[in-house]
């Protein structure tokens, strides 16, 4: 049984409302509604009742309804306020739109101003959910029953232990690619749920059962093939019907997106192809373009990514122009500005990125001021401040970066205090402390940087203790220990730095052992060995330094051999060669000279191919060391 909130105007939809209530009771559900005539306002009790329900059902016709005066700057009707509250609270929404007008005197169609309010609300509903359109009671109940069943199946899937177990495994793969890809988790959840529920049906096919069994061991390919066949069926129906059926296109696009979410864990290009198909089914839907852009960023095709994000921006801009009061579309526009800024920043266009981020910030500030209680908008605002801080930091504007980061920190502190159990907000707070620590370190304020890094460390220790299996939090913790170690080393506290580095290395070692194929974790491990070697060398422990440097070198040789075109890994290998080349303990001059020549050759080859960043052009340092080794006084 589910508690179902029923929202509608009364005067024009009394019969439909009663039919919905009767069906819910007959189906064993508990209907909830908080007001009678739409001339009475009980805004707060309505919204509280929405929060207490499992499902939300909207019945909407051609009457806008009562608009409370108190605490309602947009002058929205109670019905529209309830619809938005359900969305903000994450409650599944079912929308039933009546297309006929049985009695025009009970509608707002004769009043042009109020009629536009009705159409604006309907546009918002269509943008947020896929409504069921009906003309008579029978159609109403058909849409209601299918909508409730689908929503309950989706909720059941979220609580299905098998789905949760598979998701825990597959989301690690998304996190490895890019933190922004978390936005695909909803698509991944839908893909897993679709596969598992198909396999759990009494008449399940052998193909569906096999696909779900493969997901249990982390193999998504059979599930992708299952969804691909379903997509092909929808595509064939679209082609055969000769009618542009929006519902069929939505179903085909959903299947394509779900395949893309599955493919992200193993093949970004396959994911890109899937999202491109979704965009072809629904070319006016901005989100496939955002997903496509994300994939293009991961494949390194920044020019194409910029075009994709700008197309998403154009669609969002058109929607906002159509209805400036639609806050969801305003947020989409803000996200588009940020994504464009991300690509421009990656391309080295700092001024362009800053301009894009500031546009996104302006929208985020307006939304945050409109509803300070909306935590999603407040978090968006903190993200915008952080992005601007990143640009200032990259441009060497420490005071500007610090001011932006501290604005973001203030918002995140308020969110974390408001929801101590919200791990996302807690992690956000740790990131803000880390960013501030980085700026203070660059400004030479080592005590301030150390204090900021330690604040982030304490938060990450609590998160990692809460869920030791969360690899993202474990990696965050290793990074915090490493940054604390950096500051202690700069302050001359060698033992303290060594202790911090060793703790971070232990975490990296455990992660790398857990997944030998994860190159990011193995690179982290190599960095840890190098830092430990540097501290030991400074303390006069040549044997320990040599052992640590050689372990880091072994990892970097494997990474560089795996992908010779990866400039970062090649530069890492050159850095290891330099460290070993200047370490005198336990090495002959010939061995040291060979390391220096090898590292210099790597950098020279990168420079010749224009793959070497100016800040990594250490060729002169190699030449200086080779000159020293060649001096007879050193023999």
**pLDDT over threshold 90, residue 416:** yes
Residue 593 has pLDDT above 70, yes or no: yes
| Residue pLDDT, tens place only, 255-303 | 999 999 888 777 888 989 999 999 999 898 888 899 899 888 878 888 9
Q: What is the CB neighbour count within 10 angstroms for residue 139? A: 15
- Reported as a single tens digit per residue, the pLDDT across 204-220 is 899 999 998 998 888 89
**Nearest alpha-carbon partner for 319 in 363, 267, 255:** 363
Distance from C-alpha of 361 to C-alpha of 406, rounded to nearest angstrom: 15
The per-residue pLDDT for range 336-382, each reduced to its tens digit, is 999 999 999 988 899 999 999 999 999 999 998 988 888 888 999 99
b or e along 155-169 (b: 16 or more beta carbons within 10 Å of the residue's beta carbon)? bebeebebbeebbee
What average pLDDT does the structure give for the chain? 87
Please, are residues 360 and 384 in contact by the beta-carbon 8 Å criterion?
Answer: yes
Distance CA 598, CA 594 (A): 6
More confidently predicted of 46 and 324:
324
Spatial neighbors of 256 by CB under 8 A, at least 6 apart, are 231, 274, 275, 277, 278, 281
With pLDDT > 90 as the criterion, what percentage of the chain qualifies?
47
H or E element in which residue 482 lies: helix 471-490
pLDDT (0 to 100) of residue 366: 93
Lowest mean pLDDT among 36-40, 66-70, 505-509, 521-525: 36-40
Residue 49 pLDDT > 50: yes
Query: How do residues 300-322 score in pLDDT, each as one tens digit?
Result: 888 999 999 999 999 999 989 98
How many Cβ atoms sit within 10 Å of the Cβ of residue 579? 23
Confidence (pLDDT) at 635: 37
Contact yes or no for 484/535 (Cβ under 8 A): no
Spatial separation of the C-alpha atoms in residues 258 and 275, rounded to whole Å? 9
Q: What is the dihedral of CA 120, 121, 124, 128, to 10 degrees?
A: -160
Q: Which residues, at least 6 apart from 365, have a Cβ–Cβ distance to it below 8 Å?
A: 381, 384
Q: Look up the pTM and report it.
A: 0.71
């Amino acid at each position: 049984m589910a508690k179902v909130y029923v929202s509608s105007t009364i005067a024009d939809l009394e019969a439909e409302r009663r039919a919905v209530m009767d069906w819910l009771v007959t189906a064993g559900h508990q209907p909830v509604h908080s007001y009678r005539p739409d001339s009475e306002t009980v805004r707060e009790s309505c919204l509280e009742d929405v929060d207490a329900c499992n499902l939300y059902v909207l019945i909407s016709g051609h009457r806008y309804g009562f608009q409370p005066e108190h605490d309602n700057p947009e002058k929205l009707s109670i019905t529209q306020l309830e619809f938005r509250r359900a969305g903000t609270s994450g409650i599944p929404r079912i929308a039933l739109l009546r297309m006929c007008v049985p009695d025009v005197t009970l509608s707002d169609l004769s009043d042009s101003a109020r009629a536009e309010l009705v159409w604006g609300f309907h546009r918002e509903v269509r943008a947020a959910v896929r409504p069921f359109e009906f003309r008579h009671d029978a159609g109403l109940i058909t849409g209601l029953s299918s909508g409730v069943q689908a929503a309950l199946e989706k909720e059941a899937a979220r609580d299905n232990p098998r789905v949760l177990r598979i998701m825990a495994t597959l989301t690690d793969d998304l996190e490895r690619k890019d933190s922004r890809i978390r936005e695909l988790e909803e698509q991944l959840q839908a893909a897993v749920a679709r596969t598992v529920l198909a396999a759990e049906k009494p008449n399940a096919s052998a193909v569906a059962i096999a696909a779900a069994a493969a997901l249990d061991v982390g193999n998504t390919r059979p599930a992708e093939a299952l969804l691909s066949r379903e997509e092909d069926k929808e595509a064939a129906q679209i082609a055969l019907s000769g009618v542009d059926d929006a519902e069929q296109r939505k179903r085909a696009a959903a299947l394509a997106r779900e395949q893309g979410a599955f493919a992200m864990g193993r093949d970004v290009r396959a994911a890109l192809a899937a999202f491109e198909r979704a965009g072809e089914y629904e070319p006016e839907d901005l989100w496939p373009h955002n997903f496509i852009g994300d994939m293009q960023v991961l494949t390194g095709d920044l020019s194409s990514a910029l075009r994709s994000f700008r197309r998403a921006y154009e669609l969002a801009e058109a929607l906002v122009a159509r209805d400036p009061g639609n806050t969801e579309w305003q947020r989409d526009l803000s996200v588009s500005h940020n994504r464009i800024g991300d690509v421009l920043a990656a391309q080295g266009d700092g001024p362009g990125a800053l301009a894009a981020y500031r546009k996104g910030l302006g929208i985020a500030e307006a939304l945050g001021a409109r509803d300070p209680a909306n935590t999603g908008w407040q978090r968006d605002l903190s993200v915008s401040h952080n992005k601007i801080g990143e640009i200032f930091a990259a441009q060497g504007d420490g005071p500007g970066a610090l001011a932006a980061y501290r604005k973001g920190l203030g918002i995140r502190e308020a969110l974390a205090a408001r929801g101590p159990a919200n791990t996302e907000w807690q992690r956000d707070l740790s990131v803000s402390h880390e960013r501030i620590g980085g700026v203070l370190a660059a400004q030479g304020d080592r005590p301030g940087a150390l204090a900021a890094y330690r604040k982030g460390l304490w938060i990450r220790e609590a998160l990692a203790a809460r869920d030791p299996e969360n690899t993202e939090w474990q990696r965050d913790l290793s990074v915090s220990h490493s940054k604390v170690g950096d500051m202690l080393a700069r302050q001359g506290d060698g033992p303290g730095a060594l202790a911090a580095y060793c703790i971070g290395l232990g975490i990296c070692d455990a992660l790398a052992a857990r997944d030998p194929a994860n190159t990011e974790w193995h690179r982290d491990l190599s960095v840890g060995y190098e830092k430990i070697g540097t501290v030991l060398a400074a303390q006069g422990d040549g044997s320990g330094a040599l052992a640590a440097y050689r372990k880091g070198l072994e990892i970097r040789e494997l990474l560089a051999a795996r992908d010779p075109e990866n400039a970062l890994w090649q530069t890492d290998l050159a850095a290891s060669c330099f460290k070993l080349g200047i370490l005198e303990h336990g090495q002959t001059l010939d061995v040291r000279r060979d390391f220096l020549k090898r590292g210099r050759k790597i950098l020279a080859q990168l420079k010749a191919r224009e793959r070497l960043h100016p800040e990594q052009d250490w060729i002169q340092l190699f030449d200086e060391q080779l000159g020293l080794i060649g001096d007879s006084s050193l023999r």
